[in-house]
């Protein structure tokens, strides 16, 4: 049995198209494999189906997994088991992403230290977490130099007009490592900038720059504010969009930029205000 993901690094079609292709291939493979095993083992019964979510560099793929049951010796009960119709599913039982798939993506990404000539995508937190866990403590420090190289190569894409606005996203992940003397906990904060079209106010997600802040540290050079300055973009042109957390308010006051609640948290705040006004 092989996998529909075997040639993923050679894919040239668009993200949405590729997701559709993989989903169709996996479903076709499931139906064929199910017919074959039923012919080989007529005593197997279909027990249930479950939808499995898999996160890939292209987005989220939904896959149907069939559970079969077989007779149990010296018992009236039947044993239920998952029938994995693809190596990707068989090797990665219970996982949401393929270990080898992520390894290959990260090898290519960090070897080239570029985004646009590979997938035009930033590495997700899952990819970053797995890469750092596999490579252990030395390459966490090396991530800083890799990050700087990435910034230097993509900085020219963000020299826009004076009125250009940027949406700022921040995502956090925590990683724990043993360095033979003590257990270290690292907080990695990923900052992502998206330019906003001045005429339509649409966010251009195709042009993205991402960089990382590695914590814990008391070094001011490693704070988000200092990292943002390395991008050489006027901080007042940033639009922070999110839940209105304290760090967002701190950055807003420091940069004197715009802070807007996202739609979910805006509705939540409005609901709270309405409830307060309705109280006797």
As a whole number, the mean pLDDT across the chain is: 67
Last residue of a domain, one of 59, 75, 91: 91
Could you tell me if 92 and 103 are in contact, meaning their C-beta atoms sit under 8 angstroms apart?
A: no
What confidence score (pLDDT) does residue 117 get?
A: 37
Whether residue 86 is found in the same domain as residue 155 = no
Could you report the per-residue pLDDT of 181-226, keeping only the tens digit for each?
555 566 666 677 777 777 777 776 666 666 666 654 556 666 677 7
Number of domains in the chain: 2
The answer to whether residue 227 sits within a structural domain is yes
CB 47, CB 80: distance < 8 Å = yes
Q: What is the pLDDT of residue 113?
A: 43
Query: Is residue 23 a part of any domain in this protein?
Result: yes
Predicted confidence (pLDDT) per residue in 245-266, tens digit: 777 788 788 878 877 776 666 6
| 223 & 146 share domain | yes
Domain boundary, last residue among 57, 91, 125: 91
What is the DSSP-derived secondary structure letter of residue 96?
Answer: S
Quick one: how far is CA 61 from the chain centroid? Answer: 13
> Would the pLDDT of 35 be above 90?
yes
On whether residue 175 sits in a domain, the answer given is: yes
What does the pLDDT read at residue 70? Answer: 92
Query: Residue 40: what pLDDT?
Result: 94
pLDDT at residue 138 in the model? 40
Q: Containing H/E element for 31?
A: helix 15-40
Domain that holds residue 179: 139-233
SS (HEC) of 54-66: EEECCEEEEEEEE
The answer to whether residue 74 sits within a structural domain is: yes
DSSP state at residue 16: H
Statement: residue 273 has pLDDT above 70: no
pLDDT band at 68 (very low <50, low <70, confident <90, very high): very high
Selected residue with higher pLDDT from 255 and 109: 255
**Is residue 80 a part of any domain in this protein?**
yes
Residue 122 resides in a domain: no
Q: Which of 85, 55, 84, 81 is nearest to 70 (CA)?
A: 81
Whether the pLDDT of residue 95 is over 50: the answer is yes
Higher pLDDT: 251 or 105? It is 251
Same domain for 228 and 144: yes
The answer to whether position 218 is within a domain reads: yes
**Structure tokens of 154?**
């993509």
**pLDDT digit string, tens, across residues 154-179:** 556 565 545 667 777 776 666 555 54
- Three-state SS at 85: coil
pLDDT score, position 123: 46
Give pLDDT, residue 44: 93
What burial letters (b/e) apply to 226-261, b meaning 16+ CB within 10 Å?
A: ebbeebebebebbbbbbebeeebeebbeebebebeb
Task: Tell me, yes or no, whether 247 lies in a domain.
Answer: no
């Amino acid at each position: 049995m092989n996998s529909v993901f075997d040639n993923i690094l050679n894919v040239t079609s668009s993200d949405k198209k590729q997701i559709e292709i993989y989903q169709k291939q996996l479903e076709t493979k499931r139906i064929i494999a199910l017919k074959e095993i039923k012919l080989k083992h007529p005593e197997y019964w279909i027990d249930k189906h479950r939808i499995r979510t898999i996160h890939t560099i292209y987005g989220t793929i939904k896959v149907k997994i069939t559970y079969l049951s077989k007779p149990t010796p010296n018992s009236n009960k039947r044993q239920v088991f998952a029938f994995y119709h693809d190596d990707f599913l068989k090797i990665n039982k219970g996982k949401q992403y393929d270990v080898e798939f992520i390894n290959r993506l990260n090898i290519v990404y960090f070897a080239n230290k570029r985004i646009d000539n590979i997938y035009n995508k930033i590495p997700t937190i899952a990819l970053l977490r797995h890469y750092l866990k596999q490579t252990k403590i030395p390459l966490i420090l090396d991530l800083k130099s890799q990050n700087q190289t990435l910034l230097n190569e993509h900085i020219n894409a963000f020299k826009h007009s004076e009125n250009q606005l940027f949406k700022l996203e921040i995502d956090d992940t925590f990683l724990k490592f043993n360095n033979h003397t003590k257990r270290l906990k690292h907080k990695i904060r990923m900052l992502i900038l998206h330019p906003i079209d001045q005429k339509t106010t649409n966010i251009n997600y195709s042009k993205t720059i991402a960089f990382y802040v590695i914590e814990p540290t008391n070094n001011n050079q490693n704070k988000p504010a200092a990292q943002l300055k390395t991008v050489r973009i006027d901080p007042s042109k940033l639009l922070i969009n999110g839940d209105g957390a304290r760090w967002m308010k701190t950055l807003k006051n420091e940069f004197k930029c715009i802070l807007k609640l996202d739609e979910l948290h805006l509705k939540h705040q409005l609901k709270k205000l309405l409830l307060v006004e309705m109280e006797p």
